Amino acid sequence: MERIVIVHWNKSTGPQTLIQYPPEKETLPKELFLKIWTIHELNKQDKMIQFTPDIMNTQFISILHKYEGEIYFLILAYNKKDNIENIVNDYPDILANIGKNLIDLINTNNITRAISEAFNTIKNYSKLDKEENLLNFFKDKIKHTILKIMRNGVISKTKLKNILKNEYGFSTINLDLILMSYIREHLIIKENIPGSKDCYLLINDLIYMRLPPQNSYKTLDNVDTDNKNEIYNKYLEELMKFYEKYNCIQESSNLMILNFLFDKQVYSLFKELRLNALTVNQCLNILNNNEVLFNDLLENKFIFEAKGIVLLFTDLRFMRCFPQYLLKILLIRYQEKRITTNEFLSHLKLLSNKLIESPNLIYEII
């Protein structure tokens, strides 16, 4: 993404640029905004439109917003080579909410910081794959903190802000923007509960777990060796020994696992080993010849090596799981009068309905 612009439609003078990021870029021409406004007028059923001018190397996404009787456009500029179809199709909810949040802040002192955060959020969502976005729920300190708070059950936006500020020192964050990622991944929902405005309720927890790799024998297809079956049989023997002693509950809080995945080189190695077995030299090339890291992965049973051939031993996968533990936590919080009757019943009903609708779907591998 090249830039983000907020434009106000003045009924007398036409489009006016209010703010853009990065700020040092040259202002886009008024004629461009007139063309974008015309497309919106011709497609009134669509709040989000795409426009690619013939004479520019840039393509645009525009999201129309109405606020206090005024019309605004959130405009995102991309290079023509970028595939914006994926961006529009995959992130319409995020784009719409980002636009709303920015326009709410347009006449405040927070707009400069907010538009910078919005630019980087959209850019990161566009370039990260699904797994990297999930990893950020553990890698990003604020996101991980919010996930831990949500595991205590229903909470209002005001209380969440106060906890983040007073207990964790996170005072200057765009909370709406951050919470959008939880909603998008079906981890929380937002509800207005009688007597409690803007409440967030956990509907799925997010955990990570070691799992046996899929199609591990098929990854050996490209290996030129007469010992393929010998290697694979030894691999299966070691795999069975590992999972006989594996404690998935204990491992779910093992930060050592995530520390490996936080390393971009390790992450790249895992992605490659899911598809193909590699030689030791190929692995070291991906790890930038870090033999210590390679040996750590072997010792901690993430990779397996035999006769110079390396396979992925235990894959690290993310799971959405039903937060059954919340049923007890909600009751305790209600008995201690830390949540209202409406808050307690709303979250309890939500979880109960989820169990009734999908009694067998306790977890989902993402």
Nearest to 140 by CA among 186, 177, 89, 105: 177
- The pLDDT value recorded for residue 172 is 62
What is the spatial distance between Cα 126 and Cα 79, in angstroms, rounded to a whole number?
13
Average pLDDT over residues 25-51: 86
Query: Can you list the domains of the chain with their CATH numbers?
Result: 3-127 (3.30.450), 131-206+322-365 (1.10.10), 213-313 (no CATH)
Mean residue pLDDT of the chain comes to 86
Rounded distance between C-alpha atoms, residue 139 and residue 88, angstroms: 26
315 contacts 211 by C-beta, under 8 angstroms: yes
pLDDT band at 304 (very low <50, low <70, confident <90, very high): very high
What was the pLDDT predicted at 292?
A: 95
CB 210 within 8 A of CB 308: no
Percentage of the chain with pLDDT > 90?
Answer: 39
CA-atom Rg of the chain in angstroms: 25
- pLDDT score recorded for residue 173: 67
Average pLDDT over residues 225-248: 88
Q: 3-state class of 307 per DSSP?
A: coil
List phi, psi (to 5°) of 247. Answer: -115, 100
Pick the residue with more confidence: 261 or 159? 159
Question: Residue 335 — pLDDT band, cuts 50, 70, 90?
Answer: very high
- Distances from the Cα of 333 to the Cαs of 129, 154, 264, 347, in angstroms? 37, 10, 40, 12
Residue 90 predicted with pLDDT over 80: no
- Give the pLDDT confidence score for residue 201 in this predicted structure: 96
How many CB atoms within 10 Å of residue 24?
A: 7
So what's the pLDDT on residue 183?
Answer: 86
Residue 119's pLDDT band (cuts 50, 70, 90): confident
pLDDT at 204 over 90: yes
Tokens standing for 178?
């951050």
Residues in the chain: 366
Looking at residue 133, its pLDDT comes to: 80
Pick 90 or 150 by higher pLDDT: 150
CA–CA distance, 202 with 323 (Å, rounded to integer):
8
Strand partners, 311: 304
For residues 137-152, average pLDDT:
92
Residue 127 has pLDDT above 60, yes or no: no
Specify the pLDDT at position 358: 78
Is the CB of residue 201 less than 8 Å from the CB of residue 149? no
Q: What confidence score (pLDDT) does residue 2 get? A: 87
12-16, 135-139, 247-251: range with lowest mean pLDDT: 247-251
Q: How far apart are CA 59 and CA 79, in angstroms?
A: 6
Of the pLDDT bands very low, low, confident and very high (cuts 50, 70, 90), residue 124 is: low
| Pairwise CA distance, residues 35 & 337, whole Å | 57
What is d(CA 178, CA 196) in angstroms, rounded to the nearest whole number? 21
- End-to-end, the C-alpha distance of the chain in Å comes to 27
pLDDT digits (tens, 9 = 90+) for 175-202: 877 888 898 888 999 999 999 888 999 9
Q: Give me the pLDDT at residue 210, please.
A: 87
Q: Which residues contact 129 (CB under 8 A, 6 or more apart)?
A: none
